[in-house]
Amino acid sequence: MTNPLLSVRDLRVEFATRRGPLVALDGVSLDIAAGEILGIVGESGAGKSLTGLAIIGLLDPPGHIAGGEIRLDGRRIDNLPAAEMRKLRGRRIGMIFQDPLTSLNPLLRIGDHLVETILAHSALTPKQARERAIALLSEVGIPAPEKRIDGYPHEFSGGMRQRVVIALALCGEPALVIADEPTTALDVSVQAQIIAVLKKLTRVHGAAVMLITHDMGVIAETADRVAVMYAGRIVEIGKVSEVVRAPLHPYARGLMAAIPTLEGRVARLAQIPGAMPRLSAIPRGCAFSPRCPEAFDRCRVERPPLLTVGDRSAACWLYDRGHAPAMTTEIVS
C-alpha cells in the first residue's frame, strides 16, 4: 500500500469534561487505499463512530481532535478551517449513518434532499440535478426512481431509505465513503442487499469504503482488511481472512470464539469475562489487560504499540519479540 487514499496517524480524540479531558481515541492509525473496503469492528463504545466522525470533521463539541494527523491524498485535513473542510465533505468524503429512519429530514422530499446536495457540489441546473438524482436512485437499486423521487422519507421502508442515504452520500462522487453501521437496523435479508450496493460502489466508482460495524459476519463477507478496536484503540489490523481465521490479539481471539455459528452447537460459548472499561477508567498499560487470560506484568504497566506481525499488526506485548513468552508465539506461525 504505497499510496493510501486516506492515512490516519496516531489520531487522538478527547472530550473536554469538567473532570479533565476524556481520551476517547488514542493513537489510532490506519490507511485505506482507493477501491478498498476497510472494516472497523469492535464493541459498542470502542470508538468506531468517533473515528469516522473525526475523519470527516464532524465531531460534536466538546469532542475534538487532540493529536495525530489525518491525510487525504496526502493532504492534511485534520486542521483545515471549517469552510475548507466543508468543501471536502460530500465531495471527497461521504458518510452514511446507522439509522436510516432518522438520517433524512422528514419534512423534505427525497428529491429535495438529492437535488440540494447535487447542486451544492456541481454547477448543474436544477433540472439536470434532478435527472442525476433519478440516475443515482436507480443506481442504488430503487425501482421506479422517477416516481419515488417525489416521495417523502416516511413513505419508504428502512431498506429503501438506507439506499436513499447511500445515494445521497454518492451525490458528490466522494473518493472515500465512511459507512457507520449501515445495516445494523435492517433485517438480515435486506442487509445483504445493502452490502451488495456498497460492494458495487467500490467496484464501479473505485471509491474507498470504511465500513464500521460490530458484526464480524458482515466484515468477513465484505471487507478487504479489518481493524479491530477496543477501548479507543486499534488492537489488531490486517487482512480479513487472516484476522477472522487466526486472530492475533487475545481480545480478537476471544471475540471470534464468542460468536455462535451456524456450523454446529457447542456446549458453551467461549466468553471473555468482564466488560470493556469506561473511558474514564481505562487501566494503565494495555486496556484489555484486566480481562486478558494471557496478561502478564508488562501488560498492566506499559501500553503496547501496534506491533507488526507478518503483514498484520497487533497491539499486544505477546508479539514483542524480546518479551513474549515463547509458548504463545507459536500461534503466529
Partner 1 sequence: MSKPAVEPSTIESAPRSFIGRLADNDLVASFLSSKITVAAGLITLILLLAAVFAPLIAPTNPFNPATNFLIDSLTPPRFAAGGDPRFLLGTDDQGRDMWSAILYGLRVSLLIGIFSVLFGGAIGITLGLIAGYTGGWIDAIIMRIADVQLTFPAILIALLLDGVAQALLKNSNREGTAFGVLVVSIGLSFWVQYARTVRGSTMVEKNRDYVQAARLVGLSPARILVRHILPNVMGPVLVIATINLALAIITEATLSFLGVGLPPTQPSLGTLIRIGQNFLFSGEWWIVTFPSLTLAILVLAVNLLGDWLRDALNPRLK
Partner 2 sequence: MSAALQLVSVRGLKRVFDVSRPWISRFIDREPRRLLRAVDGVDFTIERGQTFGIVGESGSGKSTLARMVVGLLRPSAGQVLIEGVDMAATSDPAARREVRRRMQMIFQDPYASLNPRWRIGDVIAEPLVAFGLGAAQASGSEKTLDKAGIVARVDDLLRLVGLDPSDKRRYPHEFSGGQRQRIAIARAIAANPDFIVCDEPTSALDVSIQAQILNLMRDLQETLGLTYLLITHNLAVLRHMATRVGVMYLGRLVEIAPTEELFAHPRHPYTRMLLDAVPDLAMSGRARTPVGGETPNPIDPPPGCPFHPRCPRAIDRCRIEAPILRDNVACHLPLSDSK
Partner 3 sequence: MIAFIIRRLLASLGVLIAVGLIAFVMFRYVGDPVNQMVGIETPAAEREALRQQLGLNEPVIVQASRFLLNAARFDFGISYQFRQPVSVMIGARLPATLELAIVASILSLLAGVPLGVYSALRRDSALAKLFQALSLVGISLPTFLTGILLIYLFSVTLGWLPSFGRGAVVPIGSWWTTGLLTMSGLKSLIMPAITLALFQMTLIMRLVRAEMLEVLRADYIRFARARGLSERAVHFHHALKNTLVPVMTVVGLQLGSIVAFSIITETVFAWPGMGQLFLQSIQNVDIPIMAAYLLFIAFLFVIINLVVDLLYVIVDPRLRAAVHGASG
Contact of 158 with 100, CB cutoff 8 Å: yes
Binding site for partner 2 (CB under 8 A): 43-44, 157-160, 187-193, 195-196, 214-218, 220-221, 240-241, 244-245, 254-255, 258-266, 268-273, 275-276
- Residues 267-326 interacting with partner 1 (rule: CB under 8 A): 271, 273-275, 277, 281, 290
- Residues 132-191 interacting with partner 3 (rule: CB under 8 A): 152, 154-155, 165, 168-169, 171-172
User: 7 or 222: whose CB is closer to partner 2?
Assistant: 222
* DSSP conformation letters of 239-280: EHHHHHHS--SHHHHHHHHHS--TT---SS-----S-PPPGG
For residue 15, list its beta bridge partners.
Answer: 22, 63
Position 107 contacts partner 3 (CB under 8 A): yes
Position 24 contacts ligand ATP (CB under 6 A): yes
Q: Which does 245 bind (CB under 5 to 8 A by kind): Mg ion, partner 2, ligand ATP, none?
A: partner 2
Largest CA distance in the chain: 68
Contact of 130 with 149, CB cutoff 8 Å: yes
What's at 220, amino acid-wise? A
CA distance linking residue 322 with residue 307, whole number of Å: 12
For residue 16, list its beta bridge partners.
Answer: 21
- Residues 2-21 interacting with ligand ATP (rule: CB under 6 A): 15
What is the crossing angle of helices 110-121 and 126-139, to 10°? 110
DSSP 3-state percent helix, strand, coil across the chain (nearest 5): 35, 25, 40
Position 16 contacts partner 3 (CB under 8 A): no
Exposed (0-12), middle (13-18) or buried (19+): which is 116, by Cβ within 10 Å? middle
User: 103 or 313: whose CB is closer to partner 3?
Assistant: 103
User: 24 or 137: whose CB is closer to ligand ATP?
Assistant: 24
* DSSP conformation letters of 269-295: -----S-PPPGGGPPSS-TTGGG-TT-
Looking at 29, 103, 191, 289, which residue binds partner 3 (CB under 8 A)?
A: 103
The least CB distance from residue 198 to partner 2, in Å, is 12
Looking at 22, 35, 49, 66, which residue binds Mg ion (CB under 5 A)?
A: 49
Q: Could you list the residues that contact partner 1 (CB under 8 A)?
A: 18, 271, 273-275, 277, 281, 290
Positions touching ligand ATP (CB under 6 A) are 15, 22, 24, 42, 44-50, 63, 214, 279
Question: Using CB under 8 A as the criterion, which residues of the chain lie in contact with partner 3 when the complex forms?
Answer: 56, 58, 60, 86-91, 94-95, 97, 99, 102-109, 116-117, 120-121, 152, 154-155, 165, 168-169, 171-172
